[in-house]
């Protein structure tokens, strides 16, 4: 790929990010805020993801060598920030999150560098419902539709492929529909059929005794019973990627735990000791607002909107030399 082609890609990435952030902020009533690249360890603020990933850590000389960690995401930090900024119910915040996840396995859609639009919105207790979750997802999906239309108008070689509406399914629905398939295979089949799916109830055990995928116990609510005996007020936005020909996750999000869900989920995961941490104790003492929030992958959205088949085409990261050579031979230009 020539230098001129790489520059055109960079310009297109900037266009996608500007348009989507504007569309998302308008629909969800979000204000742009600054955010940290690292937080102090031992506060409970960093996102534990699936609970096994190691954060990048370092001692801070000016704090008597106290350890800090590079964020995995800002799931819990944003909720604290809602309270600190006094953001009213019905409004929220949006930030550009930059993270490092060194335990991530390399693939066409994964690298150790993560960039997200991290957002969080203050809600009332009465909005902790599947109906409100679905309505919020539809607003995000409308932002994706509007972005795809504007990208297609600016770059005519990008043909719109998103369906007009996103389909809502529960992880239990997929288990019953495809009982012999793995979770990723179930996602593949469902998203291939519908084009865009919000898959609900990720993190809690399904009827066969296993979760669809892992979720930390202290941000998304994956245990509250909802309609039809299902559980979970969270999920993933999955799109059918026209180049990769597979289900493609662009967002993980959900209504956040209240104090009852937090106690329940910490017990289910056997980590009740976290209740003593700063974030958790503040939540248990009703010092933090109820909220809904999530992360939307910036590189993922750019991959989808610009029809790129490898995440290295839309972000700068560290790649093994074997991957660089293989992609160069295939004519794929890494940034």
Residue-level pLDDT at 48: 59
What's the topology of domain 3-329? Answer: BirA Bifunctional Protein; domain 2 (3.30.930)
**120, 254 in Cβ contact below 8 A?**
no
Set 81, 101, 128, 186: catalytic member:
101
Residue-level pLDDT at 179: 94
Confirm whether 276 is a catalytic residue.
no
Residue-level pLDDT at 315: 80
**261, 306 in Cβ contact below 8 A?**
no
**314, 308 in Cβ contact below 8 A?**
yes
Set 25, 73, 111, 116: catalytic member:
116
Set 23, 148, 249, 313: catalytic member:
249
Residue-level pLDDT at 51: 55
Confirm whether 101 is a catalytic residue.
yes
pLDDT in tens, 54-92: 788 888 888 888 888 888 778 888 999 999 999 999 999
Q: 49 pLDDT exceeds 60?
A: no
Confirm whether 315 is a catalytic residue.
no
Lowest average pLDDT, out of 7-21, 24-38, 67-81, goes to 67-81
Set 236, 256, 265, 300: catalytic member:
236
Confirm whether 107 is a catalytic residue.
no
Instruction: Give the integer Cα–Cα distance in Å for 117 and 293.
Output: 10
Confirm whether 47 is a catalytic residue.
yes
CA 231 to mean position of chain CA atoms: 20
Confirm whether 173 is a catalytic residue.
no
Residue-level pLDDT at 87: 96
Set 47, 172, 173, 258: catalytic member:
47
pLDDT tier at 32, thresholds 50, 70, 90: very high
Rg (C-alpha) for the chain, rounded Å, is 20
- Compute the average pLDDT of residues 198-226: 92
Average pLDDT over the chain, rounded to whole?
90
Set 252, 265, 290, 315: catalytic member:
252
Residue-level pLDDT at 114: 87
Collect contacts of 104-111 with beta carbons under 8 A, ≥24 apart: 104/53, 106/319, 106/320, 106/323, 108/244, 108/309, 108/310, 108/311, 109/244, 109/248, 109/300, 109/303, 109/311, 110/311, 111/311, 111/312, 111/315, 111/317, 111/318, 111/319
pLDDT in tens, 273-310: 989 888 899 999 999 999 999 999 999 999 999 999 88
Instruction: Give the integer Cα–Cα distance in Å for 214 and 260.
Output: 20
Residue-level pLDDT at 1: 66
């Amino acid at each position: 790929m020539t230098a001129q082609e790489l520059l055109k890609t960079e310009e297109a990435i900037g266009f996608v990010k500007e348009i989507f952030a504007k569309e998302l902020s308008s629909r969800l009533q979000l204000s742009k805020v600054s955010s940290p690249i690292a937080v102090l360890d031992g506060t409970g603020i960093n996102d534990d993801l699936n609970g096994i990933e190691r954060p990048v850590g370092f001692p801070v000389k000016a704090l008597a060598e106290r350890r800090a960690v590079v964020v995995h995401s800002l799931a819990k930090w944003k909720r604290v920030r809602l309270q600190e900024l006094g953001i009213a119910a019905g409004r929220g915040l949006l930030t550009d999150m930059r993270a490092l996840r060194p335990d991530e396995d390399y693939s066409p859609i994964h690298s150790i560098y993560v960039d997200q639009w991290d957002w969080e919105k203050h809600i009332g207790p009465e909005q902790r419902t599947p109906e409100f979750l679905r309505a919020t997802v539809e607003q995000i999906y409308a932002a994706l539709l509007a972005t795809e239309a504007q990208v297609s108008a600016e770059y005519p070689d990008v043909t719109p492929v998103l369906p007009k509406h996103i389909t809502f399914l529960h992880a239990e629905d997929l288990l019953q529909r495809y009982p012999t398939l793995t979770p990723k295979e179930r996602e593949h089949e469902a998203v291939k059929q519908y084009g865009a799916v919000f898959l609900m109830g990720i993190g809690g055990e399904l009827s066969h005794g296993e979760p669809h995928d892992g979720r930390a116990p202290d941000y998304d609510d994956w245990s509250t019973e909802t309609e039809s005996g299902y559980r979970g007020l969270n999920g993933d936005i999955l799109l059918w990627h026209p180049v990769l020909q597979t289900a493609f996750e662009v967002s993980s999000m959900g209504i956040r735990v209240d104090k009852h869900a937090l106690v329940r989920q910490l017990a289910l995961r056997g980590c009740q000791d976290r209740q003593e941490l700063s974030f958790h104790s503040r939540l248990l003492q009703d010092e933090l607002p109820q909220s809904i929030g999530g992360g939307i992958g910036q590189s993922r959205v750019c991959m989808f909107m610009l029809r790129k088949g490898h995440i290295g085409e839309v972000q700068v990261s560290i790649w093994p030399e074997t991957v660089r050579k293989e992609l160069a031979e295939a004519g794929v230009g890494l940034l």
